[in-house]
Structure 1
């Protein structure tokens, strides 16, 4: 009987020791050593190692259902973390770096097959540089540049056959300069000029054969000869305006946890 008690005590000792070594702080209240936290349902929320209140080495975070959510590889000072993000089906969705808890350098986003379908560049948590989106076949779908978090420079979107769908210029977050949209055969569908996000001057609309269909003249973003357009032309104009607004408001960041939803949305012209 005594031997059994001793054996049970010996087996329990490592478990007690491990439990006592978790979630420790020093005299200054700084986290030290291995930390592990749970959700209310008992599933692990995260597990990682801390030194002087900063995470170091590998940290794992989990979804509430217990599936891996993120793997973060921290530098010795805890400032930089190479990060891989996963959805609740344990599929890789994004990879990139955090520096001081902010996105930095290149972030890649993946579809369900593990293929890179979008890429963004960050500096101190703000978009800086070029962003790209690709079709499943590897052809580029969109490219756009950012300056201090605002769209700035060339913006191009493509059809899956590689032909240019639209081309425009941004300046400090607003459309400025020429704007052209094309048919899949490369013929211009419509085009004109933006000034501070507003259409100005004459905008020309063409058929797929390149024939001029009609012209709309704008002042401060408002069509001044719209009453001269027939019903069919007005309907086409409204559709184009709605499509333009939709394109301008799309942002990969809104879909960072579900790149496939983002990419499906991108394909709807």
Structure 2
């Protein structure tokens, strides 16, 4: 949580009872999530923290849906995965890392589905295998 967020009053509602402004709430993993609501929907950057206060993820929202870049971290530090969303669907380049920090796999998604060439890596960084996935049909 940034110093600016710590100074702002949190968990307000508007005259219609909708969540608005900065919110701090429990997340389903036992930690805390902080971010902004607009008209009862998540908006902009949201940060989720582990119970010990270290950063678990950073995700972008628009009108209540995941939209834009997202990054997840491991409890012990280091990247877990990163990718992006388009209106709640996984979209664009996605990558995952092992606990040791080695790239596990990398590829594109459209509408939440794997598309095009995906690469899977050995612990030493060499390509273990490559798979091809059909593009989404319109």
Give the TM-score normalised by the residue count of structure 1. 0.42
**Shift of residue 137 of structure 1?**
3.8
Structure 2: tracts of 5 or more residues without a match: 1-7
CA distance in 2, matches of 1:94, 1:119: 10
Which residue number in structure 2 is paired with residue 164 of structure 1? 103
1:143 aligns with 2:65: no
Contact 1:84 1:92 in 2 (8 A): no
Partner of 2:85, secondary structure, is strand
Partner of 1:168, secondary structure, is strand
| Structure having the higher Rg | 1
CA pair 158-126 structure 1, distance change in 2 beyond 3 A: same
1:186 aligns with 2:133: no
CA distance in 1, matches of 2:77, 2:31: 19
Partner of 2:101, secondary structure, is coil
Give the structure with the higher percent strand: 2
Select 1:120's aligned residue among 50, 59, 66: 59
Contact 2:12 2:19 in 1 (8 A): no
Contact 1:74 1:82 in 2 (8 A): no
Give the structure with the higher percent helix: 1
Q: How many equivalent residue pairs?
A: 126
Q: Provide the alpha-carbon RMSD of the alignment.
A: 2.5
Partner of 1:128, secondary structure, is strand
Give the TM-score normalised by the residue count of structure 2. 0.78
Which residue number in structure 1 is paired with residue 112 of structure 2? 173
CA distance in 1, matches of 2:53, 2:26: 11
Runs of 4+ with >3 A deviation: 73-79
Which gives a bigger RCO, structure 1 or 2 (Cα 8 Å, sep 6+)? Answer: 2
Which residue number in structure 1 is paired with residue 3 of structure 2? none
CA distance in 1, matches of 2:120, 2:12: 44
